[in-house]
Amino acid sequence: MGSQPEYIYHIVTPEEWGKACQSGTYTAPSLQAEGFIHFSYLDQVLATAERYYSDIPDLLVLKVDIGKLTAAMKVEQATHGGWYPHLYGELNLSAVIGYHPLKRSAGGSLELHEIETWDHLC
């Protein structure tokens, strides 16, 4: 797998992100159901979004600094074969560098263009 990147990414709806900003922490339904929060590496974000969020029109991708996480992170193999980061606990907002919208093309597919700047937190 090579060296570990500095950042991981998580897909949320604007509503989920708004709730996290109000509460000061982020949890996903998968934390209760599976024991961890799903993340992706940057090159996996679009495939993850298409696989699990194809019917949701508005999405954000959070950029998270691995070095600032307060919960344990493990890189594990997914059922479809890829290796993904999983966070075994709540996501502390101090680890979130920023967020960026995932845009849909006119044909409906998700697009993630070169991201030079990330929107500020909450």
How does pLDDT run across 51-83, given as a tens digit for each residue? 888 888 888 999 999 999 999 999 999 887 889
Q: State pTM to two decimals.
A: 0.86
Banded pLDDT at 88 (limits 50, 70, 90)? very high
Over the stretch 18-46, which tens digit does the pLDDT of each residue have? 999 999 889 998 999 999 999 999 999 98
pLDDT of residue 116: 57
Domains in the chain with CATH codes: 7-111 (3.20.170.20)
Q: What is the mean pLDDT of residues 3-15?
A: 88
Torsion of CA 77, 95, 112, 31, to 10 degrees: 40
